[in-house]
Amino acid sequence: MHRPVLLVVAHGSRDPRHAATVRALVRRVRSLRPGLRVETGFLDFDTPTVSGVLERLAAEGVRDVVAQPLLLNRAFHAKTDIPAVLREAPAALRIRQAAVLGPSPLLVSALERRLYEAGLDPAEKSSTGVVLASAGSSDPEAIAVIAEIAREWRRTGWCAVRPAFASASLPRTEDAVRALRDVDGVRRVAVAPYVLAPGFLPDRIARGAAGADVLADVLGPAPEVARLLVRRYDEAYAPDTCPVAPLARTPALA
């Protein structure tokens, strides 16, 4: 029995670094699961489009697909945009939409990996305050998740952790950096972008980190992110998961 094709659904960006980073992550996923067919589709700006990939797969005779949103939070794109695109897929396809990547301890491990790669000494963890800088969202559920990640991360040994947002919500990265110094009394401040790929909002995070001591890179193709993507695929295709009819006929699926 053939396993479903894994379709990684990325947002897309006018910034070419975005697609390059997505493709690097997909290559790492393929290396983790040899023999698994992994395709990439973009919602906007980049090609191939999600709908184009689905049409091609159906034409090739593929019947089962796991659509993996390349998203850290379950906000508008996961709840609305992606289901809408999947519902327009050829009726012959049976599609399961996997859960978004976050929250997950693997993402926290990837955040710490990026901080240490940026030059932070692990021995300095207890004396360092961290800004958990996300893209931002107008969805209260997504904002609450970021705040909870910051609270839980703080308990792992950091001096302090404050959330920040590049858009839609406050505080901004620069405000969180300032608060760590002026309110929390932290002498060493690091900014950890909770974003997957470079682009407009990650660049805004970087500008807001000008007053920090350490700025980590985006999560990108970190090994932990690739492992998490494979895990979400396996969860969506678990034997005890209820079969899903073609999305074109099941608009309630999210």
pLDDT score recorded for residue 238: 78
Going along 57-175, which residue ranges are E strands? 64-69, 94-97, 128-134, 160-165
What's the number of CA atoms in the CB half-sphere (13 Å) around residue 211? 16
CB 166 within 8 A of CB 172: yes
Each residue's pLDDT tens digit in the chain (254 positions)? Answer: 589 999 999 999 999 999 999 999 999 999 999 999 999 999 999 999 999 999 999 999 999 999 999 999 987 778 888 999 999 999 999 999 999 999 999 999 999 999 999 999 999 999 999 999 999 988 899 899 999 999 999 999 999 999 999 998 899 999 999 999 999 999 999 999 999 999 999 999 999 999 999 999 999 999 999 999 999 999 998 755 544 434 433 333 33
CA gyration radius, the chain: 19
pLDDT score recorded for residue 77: 76
User: What is the arrangement of strands in the sheet containing 188-194, beginning at the earlier edge strand?
Assistant: 160-165, 128-134, 188-194, 214-215
Quote the distance between the C-alpha of residue 27 and its chain's center. 16
Name residue, tokens 């983790």: 32
| DSSP-derived secondary structure letter, 71 | -
pLDDT score recorded for residue 75: 76
Alpha-carbon distance of 111 to 150, in angstroms, equals 12
* pTM summary value: 0.91
Burial of 89 (0-12, 13-18, 19+ CB in 10 A): buried
Handedness of CA 24, 25, 27, 31 (dihedral sign): positive
pLDDT score recorded for residue 248: 39
Which of 54, 10, 1 minimizes the C-alpha distance to 229? 10
Both tokens of 191, joined, read: 């900014």
Q: Helices 223-236 and 16-32, interaxial angle, to 10°?
A: 70
Neighbours of 137 (CB within 10 A): 21
| DSSP-derived secondary structure letter, 63 | -
pLDDT score recorded for residue 74: 86
Q: Is 143 left (phi over 0), alpha (psi -120 to 50) or beta?
A: alpha
pLDDT score recorded for residue 51: 97
pLDDT score recorded for residue 252: 31
